[in-house]
Structure 1
Amino acid sequence: MPSYDVIVAGVGAMGSAAYWQLARRGQRVLGLERFDIPHAMGSSHGINRIIRLAYFEHPSYVPLLRRAYQLWRETEQLFGEQLLYVTGGLDIGAADGRVVTGSLAACAQHDLDHELIDAKELMRRFPGYRLAPDHVGNYQPDAGFVMSERAIVAQATMAMAAGAEIRAREPITGWEPTAGGGVRVTTSKGHYEAGRLILSTGAWIADHVPALANLAVPERQVLGWFQPRQPEHFKLGAFPVSVVQTAATTCYQFPVFGVPGFKIGLYNHLKQRGHADALSREPDAEDEAVLRAVVREVFPGADGATLALRACMFTNTPDEHFIIDTLPGHPQVVVASPCSGHGFKFASVVGEILADLATKGTTRHDLALFRLGRLA
């Protein structure tokens, strides 16, 4: 039976980062992925994902983000391909709303460069937006996006070049502890043993950790790309990444890049939740309509033809913070999911954390917000 130092189950955002960090430390690593590498069945496809320092979700994320930026830049230098693009970023909404107040709190606590802009001035600088008169925007110049699929390719490619092994289209069907304190993993094609197991299977995490069944809930999301009627307002360099909280919803958006069209998504989209295998990957007219309604309200210059719709999975915890921890009673098993729809930007540093936990059992990074015990 093949034996490894660490098995990484799930080679998506977090898994590929852990796989690379372990391989560069000289660990004997096996990566197991149920789909292709990369693939469009999980949470990390669709060209790019936003990265931002003014983190309205909680100020505790900011130190991790600073390290994530460092590691993304290191990864792209080693791989020889740009993965991180800085566009500047806006957090927009009512002055007393969660997005703006949370963004400003993160800036204040961590002394981040930022500028609070009223709606009139914001629309003058960035005419792609149409905002309510009482809205404001917090501009933070370091925000941008990471090339999500290419980042997974980079991490997996460099790990294999460092001697790690990867097997796609081989889902794990179970795992069990071994007498020596390690773990035995069963897949659709065989059995493997290792000293440690990292479970980073995203929307399928509860299949492997039943205790997470009500704590890691998959949710269907749909991203849309629309042809701008005023393309000069939405091009790279003229339009920042942003999060906009309206009276009805919260949306996130990108400048045109990589494929045709202005990209937009809604937090919690249509609130369709269930097992990942039961949620449709085929976007429909309702998905398009709810996205277009927001485009017409906030980005009327982008209200052209639909160019693409793509479904992906969020996997949410009750408080929408991550789970990064070892399993109670099984210190040889590390869980790295779910990430509640805002995790990709952290993948580079989470990979470092997972490699720390798998090799040393501890990490210098503060994981208090992400421990399993908080959800007991």
Structure 2
Amino acid sequence: MKSFDTIVIGVGGMGSATLWHLARQGQKVLGIERFDLGHGMGSSHGVNRIIRLAYFEHPNYVPLLRRAYELWRETERLWGEQLLFVTGGIDASLEGSRIVQGALAACREHDLPHEVLTARETNRRFPGYQLADDYAVVYQPDAGFVASERAILAHTSLAIGAGAQVHAREQVIAIEPANGRVVVVTDRDRYEAGRVVVSAGSWISDLVPALKTKAVPERQVLGWFLPQKPEHFRPDVFPVSNIESTVGHFYQFPTWGIPGFKIGLYHHLHETGHADTLSREPTEADEEVLRRGIRHMFPDADGPTLRLAACLFTNTPDEHFVIDTLPGVPEVIVASPCSGHGFKFASVIGEVLADLAIKGSSRLDLSLFGIERFEGA
């Protein structure tokens, strides 16, 4: 049986970064991926993902984000390709909403540069936006997006260059802890390691039964639409955004990679189920809910459809991550940075998971992400 220091199950956003941080520290590591490397079955495809500092979800995320920015820039230097693009970012909703107040709380607690704008000020400054007068806006200049598909390839390539092994098209069947070690059984072989990191995305509950009802896959659809006024949607004039509107909670990107304005809707059509059964084929209904947001807030982007792509969120009940060792089994580390806001953290979560595997702890505060918070829920 082949033996490793650490095995990483799932080589997506989190797994690829974990492999890199383990390999760069001299660990003998194996990454096992069920699908192809850089596949389109999970959560990290679709060209890019937003990164933002004014984190309305909880101020405790901000220190993680600051480190994530540092590590994305380091990865760029080592890989030789830009991965993080700064556009500025908008958090907007009605005055007093959780998004606006949460973004302000994060900015104030962590002394982040920001501006509070009216809807009219926002529309004049960024003409791709046409927000109604009753919207309040927090603008934070450091937000932008990460080239998610390229980032996975970058982390994986760097890891392989540092000695990591990666097996794609190999499915993990079982994880068997025994005598302080762990055996990983796949459809091809058996492997042994001192630590195992489970970063299997929407399939994580198949391998971690404790998350069966706590990490629930949800179908999402992203859309790219040809703007009628493309000059308003370039990265230099259109900030990424996160807007809780009267027609839904939408997130937006400027034109980049694909020649179209990109938009998504949190909790899209509320379709949940097992990751193997949720459809990856977009429909007219998917397009229509995205166009509802476009017509409400971005009418100059209401042009022909260029692309629709389905992906998966994996939602926890409180929508915070799960980053912890498995109770009673410290050799197994569980990583589900999910609920639709995880990818931006991949660079730092990789470092955190490597520290947990090697040292048993992280210098960063992970108290929000313990798996035992779900007990009795």
TM band (smaller chain): over 0.9
SS at match of 1:273: coil
Q: Which amino acid aligns with 2:115?
A: E
Match of 2:279 in 1: 280
Match of 2:70 in 1: 70
Match of 1:124 in 2: 124
Match of 2:80 in 1: 80
| TM-fit CA distance, 1:236 | 1.4
Q: Which amino acid aligns with 1:243?
A: N
Q: State how far apart, in whole Å, the 2-side matches of 1:351 and 1:82 are.
A: 19
| TM-fit CA distance, 1:159 | 0.4
Unaligned runs of 5+ in 2: none
Alignment of 1:252-263 (within 5 A): 252-263=251-262
Match of 1:313 in 2: 312
SS at match of 1:192: strand
Match of 2:149 in 1: 149
Q: Which amino acid aligns with 1:280?
A: S
Match of 1:190 in 2: 189
Match of 1:139 in 2: 139
Q: State how far apart, in whole Å, the 1-side matches of 2:270 and 2:23 are.
A: 38
The normalised TM-score by structure 2 is 0.99
For residues 60-119 of structure 1, what are the alpha-carbon distances to aligned partners after superposition, in whole Å with 9 as ceiling and x for unaligned? 100000000000000010000000000000111111111111100100100100000001
SS at match of 1:19: helix
Q: State how far apart, in whole Å, the 2-side matches of 1:339 and 1:47 are.
A: 18
Q: State how far apart, in whole Å, the 1-side matches of 2:68 and 2:99 are.
A: 21
For residues 103-136 of structure 1, what are the alpha-carbon distances to aligned partners after superposition, in whole Å with 9 as ceiling and x for unaligned? 0010010010000000111100011111111112
Match of 1:177 in 2: 177
Q: Which amino acid aligns with 1:83?
A: L
Q: Which amino acid aligns with 1:207?
A: D
Unaligned runs of 5+ in 1: none
Q: State how far apart, in whole Å, the 1-side matches of 2:136 and 2:319 are.
A: 25
Task: Note if 1:41 corresponds to 2:48.
Answer: no
For residues 177-198 of structure 1, what are the alpha-carbon distances to aligned partners after superposition, in whole Å with 9 as ceiling and x for unaligned? 122x010000010100000000
Match of 2:53 in 1: 53
Native 8 Å contact 1:224 1:263 kept in 2: yes
| TM-fit CA distance, 1:338 | 4.7
- Identity among equivalent pairs (%): 64
Alignment of 1:356-375 (within 5 A): 356-375=355-374
| TM-fit CA distance, 1:36 | 0.8
| TM-fit CA distance, 1:247 | 1.6
The normalised TM-score by structure 1 is 0.99
Q: State how far apart, in whole Å, the 2-side matches of 1:57 and 1:152 are.
A: 25
SS at match of 1:66: helix
Match of 1:245 in 2: 244
For residues 188-217 of structure 1, what are the alpha-carbon distances to aligned partners after superposition, in whole Å with 9 as ceiling and x for unaligned? 101000000000000000000111110000
Q: Which amino acid aligns with 1:260?
A: P
Q: Which amino acid aligns with 1:115?
A: E
Q: State how far apart, in whole Å, the 1-side matches of 2:124 and 2:210 are.
A: 51
Match of 1:211 in 2: 210
Q: State how far apart, in whole Å, the 2-side matches of 1:220 and 1:167 are.
A: 27
Q: Which amino acid aligns with 1:170?
A: E
Q: Which amino acid aligns with 1:287?
A: D
Q: State how far apart, in whole Å, the 1-side matches of 2:246 and 2:163 are.
A: 52
Native 8 Å contact 1:19 1:159 kept in 2: yes
For residues 330-358 of structure 1, what are the alpha-carbon distances to aligned partners after superposition, in whole Å with 9 as ceiling and x for unaligned? 10000001511100000000000000000
Match of 1:5 in 2: 5
Native 8 Å contact 2:247 2:293 kept in 1: no
Q: State how far apart, in whole Å, the 1-side matches of 2:85 and 2:24 are.
A: 25
